[in-house]
Amino acid sequence: MKFSEFREFRKVNRGNTEKEKVEDLIEQLPPEESIEVAYQEIRAGLADDLSEYVLKCSPAFFEKLVVELLVSMGYGGSQENAARAVGKSGDDGIDGIIDEDKLGLDSIYIQAKRYQRDAKIGVHFIRDFIGALQGYKATKGVFLTTASFTKEAVDFISKVQSRVVLIDGQKLANLMIDYGIGVSTRMIYQIKQLDTDYFGEV
């Protein structure tokens, strides 16, 4: 939608499918912009596929996945065993812990909820998670879900003293792509341009 050409196509081709609109747009854009549109289309499809696979995995696997994701993002540093999935019966609402320092004096606590993509995580889930953080005397938490959060849940975060980050299903899938969790690289293209500096003394 950031391309004005695409917005115009949507106006005149409302009867076409989204795929047809993208194909029409690519044909009319300059080469570099058409590559960008095609890339975003591929990425969006991959994010959908990832979301479907995550929903099919077991709760234990999902908890392990989100811990691996946060470690790949740099949390826990280079320490071995800095992160661990702890989710089980009687875990008090904590599914994983990442120690930010070698002594474990500062830790990030994780909760992972695997729900259908059209489900909404309400404010009571966030209250329960913050209550669990207080039980551990923790100040930092990450709540990840395959679903999405209600506006009330998002607003509630700004009113609490604990530092809590919410990651919904769409953001989760995109982070997995960005940090190489559950995906592999199929091909890489390099777009090169003329280096006029090289010819500066000709």
Question: According to the model, what pLDDT value does residue 89 have?
Answer: 47
My answer on whether 30 and 110 are in the same domain is no
How far apart CA 136 and CA 133 sit, in angstroms, is 5
CB atoms within 10 A of CB 175: 18
Give a yes or no: residue 194 inside a domain.
no
How large is the average pLDDT for residues 70-74? Answer: 89
Residue of 55, 107, 60, 54 lying closest to 79 (CA atoms): 107
Domain identity same for 48 and 79: no
Residue 173's CATH number: 3.40.1350.10
On whether residue 190 sits in a domain, the answer given is: no
Distance, CA of 120 to CA of 96 (rounded, Å): 22
Residues 43 and 138 in one domain: no
Please report whether residue 185 resides in a domain.
Answer: no
Res. 168: pLDDT tops 60? yes
* Pair (72, 94) in one structural domain: yes
Dump the DSSP string for 21-68.
HHHHHHHHS-HHHHHHHHHHHHHHHHHHHHHHHHHHS-HHHHHHHHHH
Answer yes or no: do 51 and 86 share one domain.
no
Q: Are residues 63 and 130 in the same domain?
A: yes
Q: Is residue 97 domain-resident?
A: yes
Q: Are strands 140-145 and 148-149 parallel, antiparallel or unpaired?
A: unpaired
pTM of the model: 0.78
17 vs 15: CA distance, rounded Å: 7
Q: What is the predicted pLDDT for the residue at 82?
A: 74
> Given a cut of 80, is residue 88 above it in pLDDT?
no
| H or E element that contains 4 | helix 4-12
Residue 35 burial by Cβ neighbours in a 10 Å radius (0-12, 13-18, 19+): middle
For residues 71 and 162, state if they share a domain.
yes
Range of the domain at 13: 4-55
Decide if 48 is inside a domain.
Answer: yes
Does residue 145 sit in the same domain as residue 78? yes
Q: Is residue 80 part of a domain?
A: yes
Domain count, the chain: 2
DSSP 101: S
φ, ψ of residue 96 to 5 degrees: the values are -165, 155
User: Would you say residue 110 lies in a domain?
Assistant: yes
pLDDT tens-digit series, residues 76-87: 876 666 787 776
- pLDDT average, residue stretch 96-123: 87
Same domain, 37 and 66: no
Residue 17 has pLDDT above 80, yes or no: no
Q: Which two tokens stand for residue 148?
A: 């999405």
- Percentage of the chain modeled with pLDDT above 90: 45
Same domain, 78 and 146: yes
Q: How confident is the model at residue 3, as a pLDDT?
A: 61
19-65, pLDDT tens digit by residue?
Answer: 666 677 667 778 888 888 888 989 999 999 999 999 999 988 998 89
pLDDT at residue 90, as a whole number = 47
Same domain as 133, residue 91: yes
